Amino acid sequence: MIAARAEDIQVGPLAIRFLVDAEASSGSATMFEFTVPAGSRVPVSHSHDAYEETIYGLDGVLTWTVDGSETEVGPGRAICIPRGVVHGFDNRGDSDARALAVVTPGVLGPGYFRDLRAVVEEAAGPPDPAAIGAVMLRHGLTPAP
C-alpha cells in the first residue's frame, strides 16, 4: 500500500482536497474532501456508470438531488449514490459546506478536477458548457440532458 498524499485543487468556487487516489488504494477507492461556498450550485447534474459515490457531511448543509428527490446532507449525515443515477448538489445555505466523498472503485481521480480547472481558468467569462461536458465524458461522468 502506498501512503496517500493530499492534493488541493480549486475549480471556480469549489475547493477539493484529494486525500486518497487509486494508486494509494490499489484501485479500490478514491476519497476527497470538498468545500462549497454558500449560495453555490455545482456541478452540472450527471451520472456515472463505473462507480458508486458516498458523501458524508462535515460542515454546513448541501442539498443533493438524487433521481429527482432532494436530501439535505449536513454534519454526520451520509448519502449513497448508485451507479447510473442522475444527481447534483448545491449549497442553499448562508455558510460554506464541507463534505467527504468516497468513490468505489477508485476510477475518479484528481485528473478530472485538474481538467475542469483548466477549462474554468481558460474561460474569459462563464466556462463553455460543451468543454465542461467533454471533460466530464472523458472522466466517466455523463451530463444530464
Fold of the domain built from segment(s) 7-143: Jelly Rolls (2.60.120)
Report which of 14, 13, 12, 25 is spatially closest to residue 109, judged by C-alpha positions. 25
Answer whether residue 3 shows pLDDT above 70.
no
> CB-based contacts of 121: which residues, under 8 Å, 6+ apart?
none
In tens, the pLDDT along 16-72 reads: 999 999 999 999 999 999 999 998 877 789 999 999 999 999 999 999 999 999 999
Q: What percent of the chain has pLDDT over 70?
A: 96
In tens, the pLDDT along 58-78 reads: 999 999 999 999 999 999 999
Q: What does the domain layout of the chain look like in residue ranges?
A: 7-143
Half-sphere exposure of 110 (CA within 13 A, CB side): 19
**Contact between residue 51 and residue 105 where contact means Cβ atoms under 8 Å apart:** yes
Number of other residues whose CB lies within 10 A of the CB of residue 35: 19
Which grid cell sits at 6?
A: 493530499
C-alpha dihedral, 41 to 105 to 119 to 92, nearest 10°:
10
In tens, the pLDDT along 110-141 reads: 999 999 999 999 988 888 999 999 999 999 99
pTM (predicted TM-score): 0.91
